[in-house]
């Protein structure tokens, strides 16, 4: 017989798996989508330090693409991106457009 749900809960509602929010993909909230234009990127990593959703992938100190599973499309990265010679390295586009 299947155990009832209430018997399977962790006592005191303690959550034992750190960072388990990763299972909840917030990318579907997005209505605008940031696009990275690599050639304009000066690797300043401002987009990384300002992203509220940890959705700018940086590997070994190098900026890579966005993590669209979680990016909510707020546009902070695009607004703060200095780009190269006035040309932004991030532009916001309509999601699915």
Query: Would you tell me which residues interact with other proteins (CB under 8 A)?
Result: 5-7, 9-26, 29-30, 43-46, 48-55, 58, 60-61, 67, 69-70, 72-76, 78-80, 92
Give the rounded distance of the alpha carbon of 42 from its chain centre. 20
Q: Mark residues 17-46: x for contact with ligand SF4 by CB under 6 A, - for none.
A: -----------------x-x----xxxxxx
15-20: long-range contacts at Cβ-Cβ below 8 A with a sequence spacing of 24 or more? Answer: none
Cα dihedral 82→54→34→23 (10° resolution)? 180
**Least Cβ distance, residue 47 to other proteins (angstroms):** 10
């Amino acid at each position: 017989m299947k155990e009832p749900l209430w018997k399977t809960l962790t006592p005191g509602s303690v959550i034992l798996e750190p960072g388990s929010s990763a299972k909840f993909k917030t990318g579907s909230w997005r209505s605008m989508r940031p696009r990275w234009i690599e050639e304009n990127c000066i690797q300043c990593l401002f987009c990384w330090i300002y992203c509220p959703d940890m959705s700018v992938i940086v590997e070994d100190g190098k900026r890579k693409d966005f993590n669209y599973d979680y990016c909510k499309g707020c546009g902070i990265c695009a607004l703060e991106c200095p780009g190269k010679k006035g040309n932004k390295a991030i532009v916001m586009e309509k999601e699915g457009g």
